Amino acid sequence: MALYLQLNVVPKKPSISVKGYMILVAMFFITNVLNNYAFDLNIAMPLHMIFRAGSLIANMIMGVIILKKKYTLDKFISVGMITAGITICTIVSGQDVKKTVVHGVVQNTSELEDFFWWCLGIACLTIALFISARMGIYQETLYKQHGKHPQEALFYTHLIPLPWFLFLYSNLKEHALMAFESEPLPYIGFGIPSTIIYLAGNVFTQYLCISSVYFLTTECSSLTVTLVITLRKFASLLFSILYFNNPFTLYHWIGTLLVFIGTIIFTEIPQKVQQMTAPKNAAKKTKKTKIN
């Protein structure tokens, strides 16, 4: 649907150079491949989510190094609180997760080999984390140079990498067969594999999400966009806890409180409230002075 709308609405010549999109797509492709392959390197889902929670800090570090940005102490404190809160909730939620099993087969490997592959998985996640942060900053720079074109960027960043996935043909084929061999949902009478239905739902919701993110990148800084995405991930974590009836412990409350307070500090809500109330207070003082 997005491709159809883009081909019929947007002019053939892109407003942003194809070279700029190629660089953006390269970072996007490498990040996604590294994040996905980390699951085959003894990286469990909770640990994966913890690393993704570090995107705020990574974005701030890259902003300081590349854009020479200077953040206030409040920003550093808020980012630290949000990251700590998400990390606490993720660790507590993942305490019962067992060792990752690849494709349902348990490999007979030594502890040293497991540790080596785990370290390699950590390296993949770390590289992907900072490439993702660099991608956000690069995207922000492109919009400053060429103007705001969220729909065009969404189109080209998803069209250009399609041929690259041919290099992952065997991996994609393996997972496609697994999807088609999955059990059909009990309340669907058409015999459609459950994984295919979940995939269709995921594609639709991902389109809504990613199109909103691309629009947001044209209106906000890279750090603010990263904050919004991180809070969305945190909301997903809380939803999964409630949906699967997992216990919501004291540590979950502490993590949630850290995220909530950190978000308030980051968005500078107290300062904005003071600015809104300041003129009213000044007007009241002026009236009292005139009366006296």
The series of mean pLDDT values per 10 residues for the chain, 292 residues long, is: 50 80 90 87 75 81 87 88 83 58 58 83 89 90 88 87 86 89 75 87 90 88 84 79 79 86 80 69 58 56
Domain count for the chain: 1
pLDDT score for 106 = 53
- Res 162: pLDDT: 86
Side-chain half-sphere CA neighbours of 181 within 13 A: 6
pLDDT at residue number 42: 78
Per-residue model confidence (pLDDT) at position 134: 92
Query: For residues 221 and 232, what is the distance between their CA atoms, to the nearest angstrom?
Result: 17
DSSP β-bridge partners for residue 193: 184
Paired tokens of 260: 């909530």
For the chain, state the CA radius of gyration.
23
Q: What is the pLDDT of residue 98?
A: 47
Please give, one letter per residue, the 3-state secondary structure of the chain.
CHHHHHHHHCCCCCCCCHHHHHHHHHHHHHHHHHHHHHHHCCCCHHHHHHHHHCHHHHHHHHHHHHCCCCCCHHHHHHHHHHHHHHHHHHHHHCCCCCCCCECCECCCCCHHHHHHHHHHHHHHHHHHHHHHHHHHHHHHHHHHHHCCCHHHHHHHHHHCCHHHHHHHHHHHHHHHHHHHCCCECCCCCCCCEHHHHHHHHHHHHHHHHHHHHHHHHHHCCHHHHHHHHHHHHHHHHHHHHHHCCCCCCHHHHHHHHHHHHHHHHHCCHHHHHHHHHHHHHHHHHHHHHHHC
Q: How far apart are CA 252 and CA 246, in angstroms?
A: 11
Per-residue pLDDT at 204: 93
Domain that holds residue 162: 2-291
pLDDT of residue 130: 93
